[in-house]
Structure 1
Amino acid sequence: MSRTSLPLPTYAAHEQGWRHAQELLPQALRLGGAGMPMPEEEWRDVGAFRVHLDCWRRPEAPASVVVVHGGGGNGRLLSPFGAMLAGLGYEVVAPDLPGYGLTRVEHKRALVYEDWRDTLSAVLQAEAGRSKRPLVVFGASMGGMLAYDVTVRTRIPAGLVATCFLSPRDAEVRRRMVRWPWMAGLSGPMLTALPFLTDSLPVPMRLAGNMMAIANSAELSRAIAKDPLAGGTWMPARFLRTFLESEPLVPPESFDVCPVLMTHPAEDRWTHVSVSQPFFDQLRVPKRQVMLENAGHFPVEEPGVSQLRDAMHDFLRERAASLR
């Protein structure tokens, strides 16, 4: 059966994992509530992938936002932030990156990290082609560095927002990311020693990463870690190897595309702000840092949620005004 003839699932009709996670969120962050509109679902062919996107279309919006998940989520998991921004009047798109969510991947064992850069670049290019309004990219977790790289590659975004900047070659970043600290020194050598034997092996993400620290609620962390379309998925060792071998496309002191906002959770139990701070400090563009009080790696706690909303609203208004 060809890719185009495959039936396309939807979160609305078929997927239960996100619903469980939604039930564990504060009432104000659940889709369908006041100021939290449901997304429409779209698909876009990108190379070998049929990419699923959650979309909040606002033709008259002053700016648009592409929301980027990391290694424990998908576009629908980030829907609280997409809906929050849509409720403020912005157009928002949240793709499922290959290997996660509902995005169709015919040969998952062949995935490499560059597929994520290519996919997100194509999404940004397509969204930029829809209108001339400014586009801001917002990356969560490892999606922050991915958003940075794609901003460098495409030079499309008028602004970059990230919850953290994780450089996987950094020893401390590796130690924080893995499930158990002792794995940090072994993961790279194990994946690179005999790649022709290990590259296609499936690696459960809940074993590779510290998924129980993705949220500060143990019940919410378990729900995400069990969701086969989010933290409960597997990725090929080839993807993990190429991610660990990746470097920022340009060093932070050479980044010159747009202003940057880092909205780091203050109570992040997975990746402490100290692992992102050196990278952020070296940026030479206009920048601002906001610590989200009481918020975990998946920042769903108050007052951090309100601080994130206000910081992004201010940032988006500034970017829209500067480009008029």
Structure 2
Amino acid sequence: MKTYNSNTAWKQLNNLLPKEFQITDEQLPLEETWDWNGNKIHLDRYPNPTSEYRIFLHHGVGTNGRQLNMIFGHKMAELGYDVVAIDNLGYGMTEVNQKDITYDDWVHCFADFVNAETKRDYKKPILYGLSAGGMICYNSSCFMNEIHGIIGMCFLKNDDKTVGKQTAKYGSTNWFMFPMMNLLKKIGFKRFSIPMKAVSKMNYLTNHPEALKIFMKDKASAAANVQLQFLYEYMNYKLPIPVNEFDKCPILLTQPDKDKWTPLELSKISMKGIKAPYTVKILEDGGHYPMEEKSLNQLIKYADEFVKSLK
């Protein structure tokens, strides 16, 4: 099993976080794998047999499960929640044994995992997604047997032209790039590998300059490659349940107010008309991947209040 012992990036990033958020050796999560279609899906787990809720963490396209546990998971575990972070296909320490990787695989892998965990050891499932992980949580929840709440750092409907244009690195060329990508996908280049940072605004991943340099060199997160078919589907995915029909559970948006990549306006566009109870909380001073002490403390506070409100 690949573990985060082999990854120096998370340790370097951990040292740059506010002192109270730095994971010590005694606070390290348990590392496990879960088999999904022959892939060894890596898990970072904080088990708590007495918790009523299990919080499932899903990263975005520039982060991984360990990086989510650093700013969110281990602090929620300290509050008494059962927490598990997943590394989806191509990210973190997950070992991929399939040739094709699509965005739909990400959606169903996460949904299958939450369903399996809830059946194996029942706790009320709550989802947390950072960046693209927010909409992964939404999309995956449409295929979950039970869901009690979703917390997201942003919710992006990437097939919306405004959202797609503002989040892509060269958004003004989307009108040309998408048809070209679709053509290349159809003529045999669907597995062509593309650095995610080459097509996205990964330079806005965090507002911490030193941390950004570490992220951009980390093959397990911001320097990961994705297949052309994954990228095309990610930018064109149709919601399994339209927002005006989605009423499976309450949703909390925890929006960093200094997010240069996905500002609040884009989530407003994407979630306009949402049927489910929907609350927005602003994380003061926070960047896209928040590392600022005030924003991180607010994230934990708002998330804890949200889960307690579900009772």
TM-score > 0.5 by shorter chain: yes
Does the 8 A contact of 1:75 with 1:95 survive in 2? yes
* Identity within the alignment, %: 29
Secondary structure at 1:42 match in 2: strand
Q: Which residue number corresponds to residue 9 of structure 1?
A: 2
CA distance in 1, matches of 2:265, 2:167: 13
2:23 is aligned to: 31
Q: Match for 1:101: what amino acid?
A: G
Task: Tell me, yes or no, if structure 1 residue 143 matches structure 2 residue 136.
Answer: no
Question: Offset at 1:61?
Answer: 1.1
CA distance in 2, matches of 1:130, 1:271: 36
Q: Any idea what the Cα deviations from partners look like across 1:19-45, whole Å, max 9, x if unmatched?
A: 122122222221118xx9210001000
Paired with 1:303 and 1:17, the residues of 2 have a C-alpha distance of 23
Segments of structure 2 that go 5 or more residues without pairing to the other structure are none
- For residues 296 and 237 of structure 2, what CA distance do their matches in structure 1 show? 31
Q: Report 1:53-132 matches (<5 A).
A: 53-80=43-70, 81-108=72-99, 110-132=100-122
Could you list the per-position Cα deviations for residues 70-106 of structure 1 after superposition, in whole angstroms to 9, with x for gaps in the alignment?
1001101111211011011101010000010111112
Contact kept? 1:224, 1:231, Cα under 8 Å: yes
Alpha-carbon shift at residue 202 of structure 1 (Å): 0.9
Taking the aligned partners of 1:201 and 1:229, their CA distance within structure 2 comes to: 18
Aligned to 1:45: 35
Q: Give the direction of change, closer, same or farther, for the CA distance of 1:234–1:254 in structure 2 (3 Å limit).
A: same
Distance 1:267 1:84 in 2: 22
**Are 2:9 and 2:214, in contact at CA under 8 Å, matched by a contact in 1?**
yes
Aligned length in residues: 309
Q: Which sections of structure 1, spanning at least 5 residues, go unmatched? A: 1-7
Matched, 1:241 2:214: no
Distance across 2 between alignment mates of 1:300 and 1:58: 26
Residue 205 of structure 1 corresponds to 196
Aligned CA RMSD, in angstroms, stands at: 1.6
Contact 2:2–2:94, Cα closer than 8 Å, also in 1: no
Alignment counterpart, residue 287 of structure 1, candidates 278, 295, 299: 278
Between the aligned partners of 2:123 and 2:184, the Cα distance in structure 1 is 48
Separation in 2, partners of 1:100, 1:143: 12
Farther off after superposition, 176-185 or 279-288: 176-185
1:182 is displaced (CA, Å) by 3.3
What is the distance in 2 between the residues matched to 1:126 and 1:318? 25
> What SS is found at the alignment partner of 2:66?
coil
Residue 205 of structure 2: aligned partner: 214
Per the alignment, residue 20 of structure 1 pairs with 12
Q: Which secondary structure does the structure 2 equivalent of 1:19 belong to?
A: helix
Q: Tell me the SS of whatever aligns to 2:6.
A: coil
Asked if 1:133 corresponds to 2:133, the answer is no
- Cα drift, residue 184 of structure 1: 3.3
Does the 8 Å CA contact 1:76/1:94 hold for their aligned counterparts? yes
Which residue is equivalent to 1:5? none
CA contact (8 A) 1:52 1:96 kept: yes
TM-score, structure 1 length as denominator? 0.91
Over residues 218-254 of structure 1, what are the superposed CA-to-partner deviations in whole Å (9 max), with x where a residue is unaligned?
Answer: 2212211210111111111111112122111111110
Separation (CA, whole Å) in 1 of partners of 2:38 and 2:232: 21
Say whether the 8 Å CA contact 1:212–1:218 is kept in structure 2.
Answer: no
CA deviation digits over 1:177-219, x for unaligned, max 9? 2223334333312211231243121101111111110001122
